[in-house]
Amino acid sequence: MTGTAPPHLMGHLAPVADEIDAVELPVDGALPRELTGRYLRNGPNPLPGEVSAHWFAGHGMVHGVRLRDGRAEWYRNRWVRTAALEGRSFVRADGTFDHSVGHANTHVIEHAGRIMALVESSFPHVLTPELDTVGPDDFGGRLTTAMTAHPKTDPVTGELHFFGYGIRPPFLTYHRLSADGELVTSAEVAVPGPTMMHDFAITDRHAVFLDLPMTFQPQLLAEGMPFGWDDAYGARLGVMPLDRPGEVRWFDVEPSYVFHVGNAHTDAAGRVVLDAARYGAPDAVAMWGGLGSDPAGPAAAAAATGTAHLHRWVLDPVTGAATETALDDRAVEFPTVDDARVGREARYRYAVADSGGGAAIIKFDAAHGARTEHDLGGDTVAGEAVFVPSAAPDRAEDDGWLLSITTRRDGSASQLLVLDATDVAGPPVAAVTLPRGVPSGFHGSWIDDAALARR
């Protein structure tokens, strides 16, 4: 990219121009032999010559690294071949949205043995294990809304809970897939208007919705993202029993915005406890204004123009009260948790931070209020850290590894970094040198071979 490109297309955010394959990648250290599968990560990547109006708007590209027998067998990257990639508009002639088009640029997950690339404005797009695109999936015609890029898998039932939001009624719809991938539940959730609801949470018995004041504003369409802060909308969190879809108890909270939830659980008193990376109202306004122009992405843009901090809400269905507590003073984004603890009480959270002068991968210990950091220095930025558990049957919660694609701030080189989750501040267990600089992107997953064998 030239110096005239928007900042979100420069440096470590600069898109790549082609798809490549590389085999037998160099490894510093020793890859754990238990890591047998694929690390996949999605993000926006406009086609050569395209200039996206906003960082969130580029076509989806999935980068993958195949690990097996202590080797990094291959790296490859592929655009998600949506209809939008071929030039088709997702807006129909009557002004409604065609959810089969989309950019599919935000997340990539596995469910029921299938790999799906996700964006919150569209249907999921199914990929092969080699990252070829099969096509959009509406689950046999049952899905009629978009699908969030942040579905939640219940680790006990194997069910996938998700939602879709829209700019026209129904503004919010809850959905549930069976463990076998069948859409078995859809229910409208009443909200006052169209908001950008990027994430949500589940507990073992609830779904938790975030109805926050980032609303659809059509006058902002020319800026690439037609959503903006709305002081008049209010802010509230909704608790829906999973056995009563559509019935929601709402709790008013201080105005704020949340891109990403850390986790939630129901405590012994029946209260819902939600942790997330929270932007207070002034920080949310500053952060949102910076995303279209700041070259650093959510973590560093937040540090420069508006910060998110790990925050906790406790929602009491008996009293109707919501209490709010800041859990840490470090500016962070992309909080993650052990997938086996989704919807359950968890001791550890992981996140990334970037002050602009130095990046880090962070581990929070909720039991002791402690924070541990793996410092990456000033020249490298970290992507979302995905926890991969060890295979030990009696493992501790943090017995496993953190996987993250790190990229030089100038975009010149990248690694797949493997950290010991029990010793995050220690030296990497292994670092796989990737054959190119991988643009900083959004979200990814570790998909082991056993998961794909379930299909």
Per-residue pLDDT for the chain (455 aa), expressed as one digit of tens each?
Answer: 445 788 889 999 999 999 999 999 999 999 999 999 999 999 999 999 999 888 898 999 999 999 999 999 999 999 999 999 999 988 887 777 899 999 999 999 999 999 999 999 999 999 999 999 999 999 999 999 999 999 999 999 999 999 999 999 999 999 999 999 999 999 999 999 999 999 999 999 999 999 999 999 988 887 778 899 999 999 999 999 999 999 999 999 999 999 999 999 999 999 999 999 999 999 999 888 877 644 444 444 444 457 899 999 999 998 999 999 999 999 999 999 999 999 999 999 999 999 766 899 999 999 999 999 999 999 999 999 999 999 999 999 999 999 999 999 999 999 999 999 999 999 999 999 999 999 999 999 999 999 998 77
Residue with tokens 């990547």, as numbered in its chain: 45
Is residue 175 domain-resident? Answer: yes
Structural domains counted in the chain = 1
Helix or strand (DSSP H, E) at 288 = helix 281-291
Strand pairing report for 125-127 and 133-136: antiparallel
* Ligand-binding site membership of 443 (annotated): yes
Q: How far apart, in whole angstroms, are the C-alpha atoms of residue 323 and residue 328? A: 16
Is residue 11 domain-resident? Answer: yes
Q: How many Cβ atoms are within 10 Å of 206's Cβ, its own excluded?
A: 25
What local confidence, expressed as pLDDT, does residue 244 receive?
98
Domain ranges, residue 230: 7-453
Is residue 423 domain-resident? Answer: yes
Q: How far apart, in whole angstroms, are the C-alpha atoms of residue 64 and residue 129? A: 9
Instruction: Tell me the CATH number at 151.
Output: 2.120.10.30
CA 335 from chain centre, in angstroms, equals: 9
* pTM for this model (two decimals): 0.95
- Alpha-carbon distances of 29 from 408, 425, 433, rounded to whole Å: 20, 16, 11
To 5 degrees, how large is the angle CA 322–CA 323–CA 325?
145
* Ligand-binding site membership of 111 (annotated): no
What local confidence, expressed as pLDDT, does residue 89 receive?
86
Q: How far apart, in whole angstroms, are the C-alpha atoms of residue 19 and residue 390? A: 32
Is residue 200 domain-resident? Answer: yes
Residue with tokens 């919501």, as numbered in its chain: 322
* Ligand-binding site membership of 12 (annotated): no
What local confidence, expressed as pLDDT, does residue 292 receive?
60
What local confidence, expressed as pLDDT, does residue 121 receive?
94
Q: What are the backbone dihedrals phi and psi of residue 340, each rounded to the nearest 5 degrees, phi first?
A: -70, -10
Is residue 2 domain-resident? Answer: no
For 314-327, the DSSP string reads EE-TTT--EEEEEE
Is residue 1 domain-resident? Answer: no
Is residue 328 domain-resident? Answer: yes
Is residue 77 domain-resident? Answer: yes
